[in-house]
């Protein structure tokens, strides 16, 4: 996913052409995967300022559906492995799952469209075996108008490229700052002696 995103970014920085929509579709796959660190918003806004709003939304939606299919195919079985389902006994999970199951389709649509963090609801749908076709349908209904709106913002406002690059870089930096301490903690724990001696 990392290689695909970086390759698509390099291709997108070339002169804008009809092939650019294909690059956007490729970029949208890692940008919309369940564990992505690549933001899609500044890229879609930039595409809206350079080309067609509708083709931008179509290309981004195509990549999003591929990402949704891959996520569902991987995370539904992984999150329901016998050794990994202990989280389902937690009170917070049961409460969240109970609320989600009342209106699962609507929750995915609304969180897919709005700025509400989407990934917790992705993982809820995966852990609860939410059907693939319903998940992808809700994903498309939520994401397509979001992409149209973002592309329209780019078309109307013409945000400078340097500002979009700064937003993109800021988002990556934010993920790095947030994940850095966790990575260091994991590395320290993994290097600890196995005889019970504290690290």
- Give how many domains the chain has, as a whole number: 1
Contacts of 90 (CB under 8 A, 6+ apart): none
Domain-located, residue 191: no
Nearest to 168 by CA among 21, 20, 43, 10: 43
- pLDDT tens digit string along 104-127? 999 999 999 998 888 889 999 999
- pLDDT for res 8: 77
Domain-located, residue 164: no
Using the predicted structure, report yes or no on whether residue 172 has a pLDDT greater than 60: yes
How large is the average pLDDT for residues 17-30?
A: 89
- pLDDT tens digit string along 56-115? 999 999 999 999 999 999 999 988 887 777 788 888 888 889 889 999 999 999 999 998
Using the predicted structure, report yes or no on whether residue 19 has a pLDDT greater than 70: yes
Domain-located, residue 48: yes
Domain-located, residue 108: yes
Query: What is the distance between the alpha carbons of residues 79 and 6, in angstroms, rounded to a whole number?
Result: 28
Confidence of residue 197 (pLDDT cuts 50, 70, 90): low
Q: Which range marks the domain in which residue 119 is found? A: 2-159
Nearest to 17 by CA among 54, 61, 50, 64: 50
User: What percent of the chain has pLDDT above 70?
Assistant: 84
Confidence of residue 140 (pLDDT cuts 50, 70, 90): very high
Contacts of 130 (CB under 8 A, 6+ apart): 104, 108, 124
Structure token pair of residue 196: 């019970």
Are the beta carbons of 61 and 144 closer than 8 angstroms?
Answer: yes
The angle formed by the CA atoms of residues 185, 188 and 190, to the nearest 5 degrees, is 105
Domain-located, residue 32: yes
The pTM score is 0.80
Using the predicted structure, report yes or no on whether residue 15 has a pLDDT greater than 90: no
- pLDDT for res 53: 95
- pLDDT tens digit string along 146-155? 999 999 999 9
**SS3 sequence of the chain:** CHHHHHHHHHHHCCCCCCCHHHHHHHHHHHHCCCCCCCCCHHHHHHHHHHCCHHHHHHHHHHHHHHHHHHHHHHHHHHHCCHHHHHHHHCHHHHHHHHHHHHCHHHHHHHHHHCCCCCHHHHHHHHHCCCCHHHHHHHHHHHHHHHHHHHHHHHHHHCCCHHHHHHHHHHHHHHHHHHHHHHHHHHHHHHCCCCCCCCC
Domain-located, residue 135: yes
Domain-located, residue 177: no
- pLDDT for res 45: 92
Are the beta carbons of 164 and 45 closer than 8 angstroms?
Answer: yes
Are the beta carbons of 43 and 5 closer than 8 angstroms?
Answer: no
Domain-located, residue 78: yes
């Amino acid at each position: 996913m990392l290689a695909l995103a970086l390759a698509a970014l390099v291709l997108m920085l070339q002169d804008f052409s009809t092939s650019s929509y294909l690059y956007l579709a490729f970029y949208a796959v890692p940008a919309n995967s369940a564990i992505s660190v690549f933001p899609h918003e500044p890229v879609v806004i930039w595409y809206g300022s350079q080309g067609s709003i509708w083709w931008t939304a179509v290309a981004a939606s195509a990549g999003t559906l591929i990402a949704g299919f891959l996520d569902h195919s991987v995370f539904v079985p992984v999150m329901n492995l016998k050794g990994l389902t202990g989280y389902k006994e937690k009170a917070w999970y049961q409460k969240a799952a109970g609320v989600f199951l009342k209106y699962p389709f609507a929750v995915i649509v609304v969180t897919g469209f709005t700025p509400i963090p989407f990934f917790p609801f992705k993982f809820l749908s995966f852990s609860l075996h939410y059907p693939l076709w319903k998940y992808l349908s809700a994903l498309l209904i939520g994401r397509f108008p979001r992409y149209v709106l973002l592309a329209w913002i780019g078309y109307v406002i013409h945000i400078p490229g340097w500002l979009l690059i700064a937003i993109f870089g800021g988002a990556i930096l934010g993920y790095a700052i947030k994940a850095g301490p966790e990575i260091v903690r994991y590395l320290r724990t993994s290097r600890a002696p196995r005889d019970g001696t504290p690290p």
